[in-house]
Structure 1
Amino acid sequence: MNFHWRDGNRIELLENGEEFYPRVYEVIRQAREEVLLETFILFEDKVGHALRDALIEAASRGVRIDVTVDGYGSADLTPEFVTPMTDVGIRIHIFDPRERLLGRRINLFRRLHRKIVVVDGEIAFIGGINFSADHLGDFGPGAKQDYAIQIEGPVVHDIHRFALTTIAPADPSRRWWRRRMRRQQADSYIGVNKGEARALFVVRDNDQHQNDIEQHYLQVIRDARSRLLIANAYFFPGYRVLREIRNAARRGVRVRMILQGQPDMPIAKFGARMLYNYLMRDGVEVHEYCRRPLHGKVALADYEWATVGSSNLDPLSLSLNLECNVMIRDHAFNKHLHERLDYLLQTDCRRIPLERIVRGYWWRAPLAFICFHIIRRFPRWAGMLPAHSPKITVLEPSTSDRIDSGTPPFPREHS
């Protein structure tokens, strides 16, 4: 499936769960025909219950609803939570459910890491925010800083078309979408203009789009002429991305990075810090966000381009997981995202001085070299392991099993 730049979109930035969740619930409650939702994490907390209530209310009005969650990220959903949804006709799809080994989840790689909501094929949400209470400020010190976007306009057609491909093979009643797509090919699709933004939906998979998100980053970094601002939670890209970031700083682009200073996973901070010297010695500014864990995956270049999505700049996102981003060309959106990120820089970030990184570099450099090349090659090594084809399982109504059981009543599966 190929995607193209679409003109005439309206795109709104949503920051953290406080802005994201109420908007999603409102749009679901206004749904007329269909809700498609994909998420890595759905927890049984106040956010998960609020989402469930909105979905059940819509399904009770006859809205067709498909929810897809990842079998690793959402492994602990219980029958008490799921059954009220399946009983009103909501189809719940589990991406690659696996049995636990000694009580631990082992299906770590090739995860469904996307976060997509599409309502009536007209409004879409894309970003990095899961459905869990740790994206709300009242969660405490562990509350995540994150971003998503609400989209209206022609690019929603591409997102909707793509979201259907995830569930159609597991649901025979969805085969109508193939006929619809033949009648309404994306290349000739003309949607109703909603705004001024130009947008492109980009995915990363383990088939035909293995490097698409990384390639867009590389091209934009090469083309940057005045400013580049990247806020990324788990930053450990390959050498090509690092080289282009450094080269941008060398040619006079002001390059600023916002990375984790208060990480939810300490290894993320350790890995990123191994790269600081390589970047900073050529003028890249590195800032660590210290108020709470950073979970965002956003960037902007110059005064028009920006991206928001689910993809980190690390080996898992760039080489193994299923991800999606939206690339945006719009001066107003770029300006607003820059204002929000600049606010973080001014209020809750500390800039890392080069002198601090240089001290002790003589003994850290060999360790950084070894670790960098091990982590950089990890996705390739993981891909060499005996691999199974991830499957999607459809939960039946009134199931009494846990999602992570991997046993019946989950009879319908597709690769």
Structure 2
Amino acid sequence: MTDRNDSRGPAEVKCNTGPSTACRQADIASERARICVPSLREGRGTFRVFTEGDELYDAMIDSIEGAQRDVGMESYIFAADEVGKRFATALAAKARAGLQVHLHLDAFGSGYPAFASIQRDLELAGVKFKWFHPFRWLRPLEYLQRNHRKLLVVDGQVAFLGGFNIRRLNSRKLSGDRRQRDTHVRVAGPLARVASLLSDQLWNDTTPIHPEAIPETPTGLDALLVPSHSRYCQQRLACLHANLIERSQRYLALTSPYFAPGTLIETALRNAAKRGVEVRLLVPRTGDPLVAGWATRAAYAPLLAAGVQVYEYLSRKLHAKASVVDGEWSVIGSANLDHLSLFVNQELVLIARDRNLAEALRVQHEDDVRDAAQVMPSQWRLRGWRERGLELIGRAARRLL
């Protein structure tokens, strides 16, 4: 994934998932959206990173209240609490004012009885409401795929995406030190229009990505929004992360609340560490559910042996998903580095070649590491048989996480 003017390599980066996958077909296709990781020029975007829920929610509400034409919103969790009701009030007001307002929520993450009254009020106000994959007896397997995206698009001009759900658990004012540690980003201009297209695509249940969502050639762009599935590749996020790791030269920082990505990404991490790249992986100390933590720890031994630095976050519940490569490339969005996010669920991430964004995420990663404990290889080798047995259970359950 190198720029056309970058002397370190070719203009394109190919998928490496094997000859039998959809990504192998991407390797031999044209540039138009068929390569999993495009070439991007270096830019200086107008991204804004949020790490506190109160600040993010205020900015999102301000954007909704300033909308002139339409508002589209997706969330995995939209709680029936103070935060959720605040958003519902803002959305309903815009619908009553005559704007087109869409709210697309995941039926598993948000479909609780307490939300019924909010849904009724929204629909009475004119908000177009839709559940993503409610359970259907005739299509039970569909329920396994969730919409894990968190997205707000206003007038096709401003968009917010990342890991924050809509609930009080992300608010310092309401939850204090119990609040989750998460990350979101605001984008504007062409990227927001892309976000609007992607939101419309999922709302209309049209699987192939809209042809305008990724340009004919990536030349001249410094950032793209990448959905987890496209017409050409069903493993695009795995390709993206693996190729970012493979192109790293100096420094690689990854933050993921769930870590069970599979062989492709784990091998890329080990190889990067072996060739001298400083690789830091930040994960939670305790998994939620517990088996997720066991699955994460099942990957420790080979990573530590290769020289990867593993840190377990201690301060709060970790929910942020972000990667930084060489102070230049960044990935931020809704996707965890686990099987469900990489291969099953609907996800959305921003990939950018922007040093300002990379620096903001790097500084946050450094702050998080100061609130974490490093897993030392010498100590890890001394872990007991109980811990090793739980790791085996976690490894066996990886494809369910």
The two structures have a TM-score, normalised by structure 1, of: 0.79
User: What is the match of residue 229 of structure 2?
Assistant: 205
User: Residue 80 of structure 1: which of 113, 117, 121 is its match?
Assistant: 117
- How far apart are the structure 2 equivalents of 1:258 and 1:310? 16
* One-letter amino acid of the counterpart of residue 289, structure 1: Y
User: What is the match of residue 341 of structure 1?
Assistant: 365
- How far apart are the structure 1 equivalents of 2:384 and 2:155? 55
- Tell me how far 1:207 sits from its aligned partner: 5.9
Query: Is residue 143 from structure 1 mapped to residue 179 from structure 2 by the alignment?
Result: yes
- Tell me how far 1:141 sits from its aligned partner: 5.5
- How far apart are the structure 2 equivalents of 1:371 and 1:31? 46
- How far apart are the structure 1 equivalents of 2:217 and 2:203? 22
Cα distance 1:334–1:169, how it changes in 2: closer, same or farther (>3 A)?
A: closer
* One-letter amino acid of the counterpart of residue 90, structure 1: V
User: What is the match of residue 134 of structure 1?
Assistant: 169
- How far apart are the structure 1 equivalents of 2:122 and 2:77? 17
Residue by residue, what CA displacement relative to the aligned partner does 1:326-347 show, whole Å, maximum 9, x if unpaired? 101101111111111101112x
- How far apart are the structure 2 equivalents of 1:226 and 1:159? 32
- Tell me how far 1:263 sits from its aligned partner: 4.0
Q: State the superposition RMSD in angstroms.
A: 3.0
Aligned partners of 2:340 and 2:399 also within 8 Å: no
* One-letter amino acid of the counterpart of residue 397, structure 2: I
Query: Is residue 267 from structure 1 mapped to residue 302 from structure 2 by the alignment?
Result: no
User: What is the match of residue 239 of structure 1?
Assistant: 263
Aligned partners of 1:233 and 1:259 also within 8 Å: yes
* One-letter amino acid of the counterpart of residue 213, structure 1: L
Aligned partners of 1:288 and 1:351 also within 8 Å: yes
User: Residue 193 of structure 2: which of 141, 146, 157 is its match?
Assistant: 157
- Tell me how far 1:368 sits from its aligned partner: 4.1
Unmatched 5+ stretches in structure 1: 171-177, 191-195, 380-415
User: Residue 48 of structure 2: which of 12, 17, 20 is its match?
Assistant: 12
- Tell me how far 1:159 sits from its aligned partner: 1.4
Moved more, 3-12 or 113-122: 3-12
Query: Is residue 26 from structure 1 mapped to residue 62 from structure 2 by the alignment?
Result: yes
User: Residue 344 of structure 2: which of 315, 320, 324 is its match?
Assistant: 320
What is the SS of the residue equivalent to 2:204?
helix
- Tell me how far 1:132 sits from its aligned partner: 1.1
Cα distance 1:279–1:127, how it changes in 2: closer, same or farther (>3 A)?
A: same
User: What is the match of residue 295 of structure 1?
Assistant: 319
User: What is the match of residue 350 of structure 1?
Assistant: 373
- How far apart are the structure 1 equivalents of 2:213 and 2:294? 46
- Tell me how far 1:87 sits from its aligned partner: 1.1
User: Residue 305 of structure 2: which of 278, 281, 302 is its match?
Assistant: 281
Give the number of equivalent residue pairs: 358
- Tell me how far 1:124 sits from its aligned partner: 0.6
Cα distance 1:301–1:254, how it changes in 2: closer, same or farther (>3 A)?
A: same
User: What is the match of residue 173 of structure 1?
Assistant: none
Cα distance 1:370–1:99, how it changes in 2: closer, same or farther (>3 A)?
A: closer
User: What is the match of residue 116 of structure 1?
Assistant: 151
- Tell me how far 1:83 sits from its aligned partner: 1.7
- How far apart are the structure 1 equivalents of 2:266 and 2:216? 38
Matches within 5 A, 1:54-73: 54-73=90-109
- How far apart are the structure 2 equivalents of 1:43 and 1:99? 23
Cα distance 1:62–1:353, how it changes in 2: closer, same or farther (>3 A)?
A: same
- Tell me how far 1:363 sits from its aligned partner: 7.8
Moved more, 67-76 or 56-65: 56-65
- Tell me how far 1:153 sits from its aligned partner: 2.3
Aligned partners of 1:263 and 1:292 also within 8 Å: no
User: What is the match of residue 229 of structure 1?
Assistant: 253
Unmatched 5+ stretches in structure 2: 1-31
- Tell me how far 1:167 sits from its aligned partner: 2.2
* One-letter amino acid of the counterpart of residue 331, structure 2: T
What is the SS of the residue equivalent to 1:299?
strand
User: What is the match of residue 175 of structure 1?
Assistant: none
- How far apart are the structure 1 equivalents of 2:142 and 2:222? 37
What is the SS of the residue equivalent to 1:18?
helix
- How far apart are the structure 2 equivalents of 1:266 and 1:206? 32
Aligned partners of 2:44 and 2:354 also within 8 Å: no
- How far apart are the structure 1 equivalents of 2:115 and 2:273? 50
What is the SS of the residue equivalent to 1:281?
helix
Aligned partners of 2:254 and 2:323 also within 8 Å: yes
Cα distance 1:169–1:341, how it changes in 2: closer, same or farther (>3 A)?
A: closer
Moved more, 223-232 or 260-269: 260-269
- How far apart are the structure 2 equivalents of 1:189 and 1:92? 35
Aligned partners of 1:197 and 1:330 also within 8 Å: no
User: What is the match of residue 275 of structure 2?
Assistant: 251
- How far apart are the structure 2 equivalents of 1:32 and 1:166? 23
What is the SS of the residue equivalent to 1:307?
strand
Residue by residue, what CA displacement relative to the aligned partner does 1:21-74 show, whole Å, maximum 9, x if unpaired? 111000000000000111111110011001011112222222110000011001
Residue by residue, what CA displacement relative to the aligned partner does 1:331-374 show, whole Å, maximum 9, x if unpaired? 1111111111101112x1111111221004778667746752x3
Query: Is residue 375 from structure 1 mapped to residue 397 from structure 2 by the alignment?
Result: yes
Query: Is residue 305 from structure 1 mapped to residue 329 from structure 2 by the alignment?
Result: yes
What is the SS of the residue equivalent to 1:67?
strand
User: What is the match of residue 98 of structure 1?
Assistant: 135
- Tell me how far 1:19 sits from its aligned partner: 2.1
* One-letter amino acid of the counterpart of residue 128, structure 2: R
- How far apart are the structure 1 equivalents of 2:160 and 2:178? 24
Moved more, 318-327 or 260-269: 260-269
- How far apart are the structure 2 equivalents of 1:378 and 1:80? 32
Moved more, 45-54 or 72-81: 72-81
Aligned partners of 1:231 and 1:259 also within 8 Å: yes
Moved more, 199-208 or 4-13: 4-13
* One-letter amino acid of the counterpart of residue 123, structure 1: V
User: Residue 89 of structure 1: which of 95, 116, 126 is its match?
Assistant: 126
What is the SS of the residue equivalent to 1:187?
coil
- How far apart are the structure 1 equivalents of 2:363 and 2:272? 22
User: What is the match of residue 23 of structure 2?
Assistant: none
